[in-house]
Amino acid sequence: MNTNIGFVSTRFAGTDGVSLESSKWAEVFEDNGFNCFWFAGEVDRESDKTFLVPEAHFQHEQNQWINHHVFGKKGRSQPVTQTMHAMRSLLKHKLHEFINEYNISLLIAENALTIPMQVPLGLALTETIAETQLPTIAHHHDFYWERVRFSINAVGDYIRMAFPPNLSNIRHVVINSDAQEQLALRTGITSVIIPNVLDFENPPRLSRRRAKIFRESIGLDLEDRIILQPTRIIQRKGIEWAIDLVKGLRSDRNKLVISHEAGDEGMEYAEWLKEYACEFGVDLRLVSIKISDPLSKNGNGKGTYSLWDVYPYADFITYPSIYEGFGNAFLEAVYFKKPILINRYATFVRDIEPLGFDLAVMDGFLSKRTVKDVVEILESSKRRKAMVNSNYQIASRHYSYSVLRNQLTAILKTFFGDSVGTLSAKRPRSRPEGYLYINPHVVMYKQDDSDACAATQLQAQR
């Protein structure tokens, strides 16, 4: 078979779950001789393998206009429909160009047929898959029925057609068992579960020198503790509980660092968090620079600040999310052998918790008992070592690249038969230490001596 694979989404950039997991899939494919190409409205992959179409981005001006007129409403006007079909036509033409230019033999739709943030792209992709009959994997991360903002809409006809489509040449992949059940109940479509994964067979490299650089770059002393919230600043991440935890720890040593930017769902929640942290005297530091996917090969080597530059230097991870499709930050914390506070969101309770991970746990509220547990973890190196090593071993069995390779092999064989060999691991490799090519710009929020809330700009020094 031809070994060219085309990934399609609205965005392959940054550290959202879609971008991260697509990088991991691509790494597994490329280890086995496949070539991966990227179609999206924003892409930070290698430029010679990228087909950039700005109109495909969910934040494109025309798409935002469409969304404004179809979500939260029960009917749409004819001009809205005409605009949607004009975009669909343009995007379908671009998809055919992409397939022909790179001689694509397998498409992987990354959430583009799942959540209707870009309805014209979903329609264009569905028609293209039907017209070309290309083997397609639809990788679903967040379905529309999992988001309140899509519950009232004027595009029910299009959602039933394309989110997701039920076509014979598509194999559907979901990331948790509830999504698998709901997809079958609502659409009759069968699917396989491939959870989010990390390369536990190849542990990350750690560097004390980089730890010192990172701490200094965000204005921390060696005795300070980094309590890391490694998520985007959006409401469902429950970041106020991370602030409550640091408040409950009652020590000026503890600094809450949020590693991702706000903006995907507005700035109001971020502004409230700053005020909330200041009100309780919590030292909050926002890394106000775009953080890159550590697995993407963007080839520029400049201006890149990676997730892998953050995790190794944290003392504790907070992950109090209200809802997650799976939970990349959870796996990443386990990968870097960090103790974690987890909120028992539904997918965690159903798919992850039964495996026996050793964690600090909350269940919708932060109790004194949970805070006491975190204090004990922070104060006992023996307990920390035992829990993080146990967690790493459990994750290695259930969420390693070997799980991904086995599942993808089975799917490829349904398309191409025994002509496809079993996907195998590349020779053992060490993960890079990170990048730190630039000086991160950090904003610190805390009370000043007059009990007023103040923001201090910290410019990192190398």
User: pLDDT tens across 154-188, in order?
Assistant: 999 999 999 999 999 999 999 999 999 999 999 99
Instruction: Give 145's contacts (C-beta < 8 A, 6+ positions apart).
Output: 151, 182, 186
Local structure of residue 311 (DSSP, 8 states):
G
pLDDT category of residue 92 using cuts at 50, 70 and 90: very high
The answer on 82 and 213 residing in a single domain is no
165 falls within a domain: yes
Q: Dihedral of CA 207/212/215/218: which sign?
A: negative
In-domain check, residue 198 = no
pLDDT tens digits, one per residue of 21-51? 999 999 999 999 999 999 999 999 999 999 9
The amino acid sitting at 200 is F
Per residue in 257-271, pLDDT (tens digit) is 987 666 556 688 888
Same domain, 144 and 262: no
**Ramachandran angles phi, psi of 418, nearest 5°:** -75, 0
Asked whether the beta carbons of 219 and 458 are under 8 A apart, the reply is yes
Asked whether residue 416 is domain-assigned, the answer is no
Residue whose tokens read 């990354």: 110
CB 247 within 8 A of CB 277: no
**What is the CB neighbour count within 10 angstroms for residue 27?**
17
| pLDDT of 326 higher than 50 | yes
Over residues 80-104, mean pLDDT: 98
335 shares a domain with 240? yes
Secondary-structure percent of the chain, ordered helix, strand, coil, rounded to 5: 45, 15, 40
Number of structural domains in the chain: 2
The verdict on residue 419 lying in a domain is no
Q: In sequence order, what are the beta bridge partners of 138? A: 109, 172
Residue 78 is which amino acid? Q
**Cis peptide leading into 428, omega within 30 of 0?**
no
Cis peptide before 294 (omega within 30 of 0): no
Most confident of 207-211, 288-292, 331-335: 331-335
The whole-number average pLDDT for the span 380-402 is 96
Residues 214 and 131 in one domain: no
Residues 173 and 266 reside in one and the same domain: no
| 182 Cβ contact partners less than 8 Å away, ≥ 6 residues apart | 143, 145
Helix or strand holding residue 342 (H, E): strand 340-343
Token pair, residue 420, equals: 């496809």
Asked if 106 and 217 sit in the same domain, the reply is: no
Residues 189 and 212 grouped into a single domain? no
Taking residues 9-16, what's their average pLDDT? 89
- Backbone φ/ψ region at 292: left (φ over 0), alpha (ψ -120 to 50), beta: beta
Q: Which is more confidently placed, 408 or 209?
A: 408
Range in 325-334, 386-395, 397-406 the model is least confident about: 325-334
Least confident of 211-215, 393-397, 410-414, 450-454: 450-454
pLDDT category at 1 given cuts 50, 70, 90 is low
Same domain (yes/no): 180, 285? no
Given 165, 193, 221, which residue is the final one in a domain? 193
- Residues 254 and 349 grouped into a single domain: yes
pLDDT at 131 over 60: yes
Q: Is 203 part of a structural domain of the chain? A: no
Q: In the block, which residue shows the tokens 């392959």?
A: 12
- pLDDT for the residue 312: 82
What's the CA gap between 42 and 9, in Å, rounded? 9
Q: 191 with 183: CB under 8 angstroms? A: yes
Hunting for tokens 């995790």 — which residue is that?
311
Over residues 208-247, the pLDDT tens digits come to 676 677 777 778 887 899 999 988 888 889 999 999 999 9
Q: Tell me the average pLDDT across 58-76.
A: 97
Whole-structure pTM value:
0.85
Q: Looking at per-residue confidence, does 400 or 447 come out higher? A: 400
Q: Which of 170, 193, 216 is the last residue before a domain boundary?
A: 193
Q: What pairs with residue 71 in β-bridges?
A: 153
Mean of pLDDT over the chain: 88
Q: Which of 132, 164, 193 is the last residue of a domain?
A: 193
pLDDT in tens, 420-444: 889 998 756 555 444 433 344 556 5
- Beta partners for residue 340, in sequence order: 317
State residue 25's pLDDT score: 97
* Dihedral of alpha carbons 186, 190, 191, 192, sign: positive
- DSSP category for residue 236: G
Rounded distance, CA 350 to CA 180, Å?
13
State the pLDDT at residue 459: 42
Neighbours of 293 (CB within 10 A): 24
CA–CA gap between residue 81 and residue 134 (Å, rounded): 28
**pLDDT higher at 86 or 323:** 86
Better-predicted residue by pLDDT, 364 or 15: 364
pLDDT band for 328, please (50, 70, 90 cuts): confident
User: Quick one: pLDDT at residue 270?
Assistant: 86
Range of the domain at 30: 4-193
Structure-token pair, residue 317:
């991870």
Whether 378 maps to a domain, the answer reads yes
Return the structure tokens found at 338: 């960090």
208 contacts 431 by C-beta, under 8 angstroms: no
Say if residue 292 is in the same domain as residue 344: yes
Q: Let me know whether 93 and 14 are in one domain.
A: yes
Residues 189 and 215 in one domain: no
CATH number of the CATH domain containing 387: 3.40.50.2000
Rounded to a whole number of angstroms, the distance between the first and last alpha carbons of the chain is: 49
Torsion of CA 373, 376, 380, 384, to 10 degrees: 20
| 205 has pLDDT over 80 | no
Residue 428 within any structural domain of the chain: no
Within a domain: 174? yes
